[in-house]
A and B are shown apart, each in its own frame.
Chain A
Amino acid sequence: MSDTVSPPAAIAASPVIPHRLPSVAATGWSRGIAESKMFFREKDSVVFTFAFPIILLGIFGSIFGGTLEGGPITVSQLYTAGLIGAGVMSASFQNLGIGIAVDRDDGTLKRLAGTPLPRSAYFLGKILNVLLVALLQVAILLAIGVIAYDLTLPAEVSRWFTFTWVFLLGITGSALLGIAASSLPRSARSATAVISMPFVVLQFISGVFIPVTELPEWLINISSLFPLKWMCQGFRSVFLGDAGAAFELTGSYELDRVALVLAAWVAGGLVLCLTTFRWKSRRDG
């Protein structure tokens, strides 16, 4: 867009200068606050987002007690790592896929398009909301893992560094995939089904619920195309440590490939968004 964007210095300027438009940073931040307020007030969606992985962790933790093949790693630890991956993807992919489809349907996008709000500020607001939800999600799952399932948090800085880049690359790639997928549902009502269905399938084939080693090769080939499998693999390397590497398909966490695939999703997702994103609903033509 050829929009005039005022310099960041304008954020702090309190007296209103005529015809000086609010900056992308200021309006994006304000959207992030509004989006987050709306998100946390929509009780059913909050429950859907946060309770789902927690309940699953509870169920799997109770069913599959004990350790992996008598080793030092408990099954609950395995699920904690996997569900953090799923939680990050639900906060980004699922939230944006459904949320933007709803925004398109209920008039949010049309109203915003009629205001001087820069489009980038809309996305900045969404990203801030996604980051907040994902960090909360991770914190809750880690807390439950530590308190209920003997998960020990890694002490090494290097592992937290891995966590940070897996989290950032994973959330960005999944968010972009979610923005692209938001154009698929025909209406807000169909959005939950259209977006959640593939996500649930992806969780089953990406090692969230069932260890990848138990899956047939053709399913792994499919899940290897999407970011979730690699995110989970990256998080396992953080929370299971070297002892867990033996339970990976190749006997290694393949962090270089994790980085490569997640980075490819960031680039590919961006292209997908730019080529498929629609501001209007199909009804609006």
Chain B
Amino acid sequence: MTQTAVKVRGLAKRYGEVRAVDGIDLEIGTGEVFAILGPNGAGKSTTVEILEGYRQRDAGEVSVLGTDPGHPTRLWRSRVGIVLQTANDTAELTVRETIRHFAGYYPQARDPDALIEKVGLTDKADKRIRQLSGGQRRRVDVALGVVGNPEVLFLDEPTTGFDPEARRRFWVLIQDLAQEGTTIVLTTHYLDEAEALADRVAVITKGRVVAEGPPATLGGRAVAKAQVSWLEEGERKQLQTGTPTRTVVELTRRFDGEVPELTVTRPSLEDIYLDLIGSSSTEPDDHSPAASRSRDPR
């Protein structure tokens, strides 16, 4: 499919002096799973909240399913699903009551019981939401996000605070929804999450997109040079090369056998990401004196 579900041009939003979003362009195709990566305060949530119609922008053009989210209509709302970052509402209703109730808001809702089954809460369906664990609560949030059969689903840091197993189960659920053709836009600061779920990734820092593309090729990852490192005359030598195998063969010949402390590495998504945000990140979270003392053992 080549249709565009989300189109953003020159988006800008400032809070007082702070430029939270400073000229973002995005284009997300129908049926795509798109991840927005970035450190805390980079502008991810602001961007997504503008797309969701929660916040007004200062400048730029935005279109979600062909509608300007700055002027949401009920019909548009019925085509867009939102999974909130944190919510503690309907604590006294059961899972089934909550999902049935919200289904009544939409013109073409999913079958509540089938949806409960899909998010894996069938055995908790008659439990009050107050009694659920954090991970189960987020599954209810996802169910409420998709109960109206949305064409686009927004998830803002959906797995923050999950244990690894809950995160894996959550990924399967999202992949399942993507299989059905739902366009999914998620923010995350977990690289493995972006790599597991997303067709494409945009890295945002200081309100700008610094890189965009499939996780495998992000930031030139696929064509990045490998680093060959070894010990020679008591000194560590390093070489960036596009042909690491040839370098190793030459080294083997030169040392006539074993090369001391030989390593060959390629950049991981994390290396690429840290490289992308490292040069421009001036996060208060990451650079408070306490944080920088305890961090970075190198």
> Contact residues of A with B, CB < 8 Å?
2-4, 16-22, 26-27, 30, 34, 37-38, 41-42, 103, 106-108, 110-111, 113-118, 285
Contact = CB atoms under 8 A, between A and B. Distances in A.
Interface stretch (B83-91, B245-253, B273-281): B83-91
Nearest to A31: B101
Contacts, number: 91
Interface of B: 15, 52-54, 73-75, 77-78, 80, 82, 84, 86-93, 97, 101-102, 104-109, 128, 144, 148
Contacts of A108: 87, 89-90
Given A26-B104, A117-B105, A111 B74 contact: no
8 smallest A-B Cβ distances: which pairs? A107-B87, A108-B89, A41-B92, A114-B82, A116-B77, A116-B78, A116-B74, A106-B88
Contacts of B88: 106-107
B107 A19 contact: yes
B89 A114 contact: no
Contacts of A41: 92-93, 128
Nearest to A20: B107
Given A2-B73, A116-B75, A116-B78, A18 B108 contact: yes
A143 B106 CA distance: 42
A114 B83 CA distance: 9
A107 B148 contact: no
8 contacts: A16-B109, A22-B105, A34-B90, A34-B101, A41-B128, A111-B84, A116-B75, A116-B148
A38 B90 CA distance: 7
B92 A21 contact: no
Given A4-B75, A115-B77, A116-B75, A30 B87 contact: no
Nearest to A285: B15
Contacts of B77: 114-116
Nearest to B145: A114
B108 A34 contact: no
A16 B74 CA distance: 16
Contact of A110 (B54, B80, B91): B54
A26 B144 CA distance: 19
B280 to A, nearest CB: 24
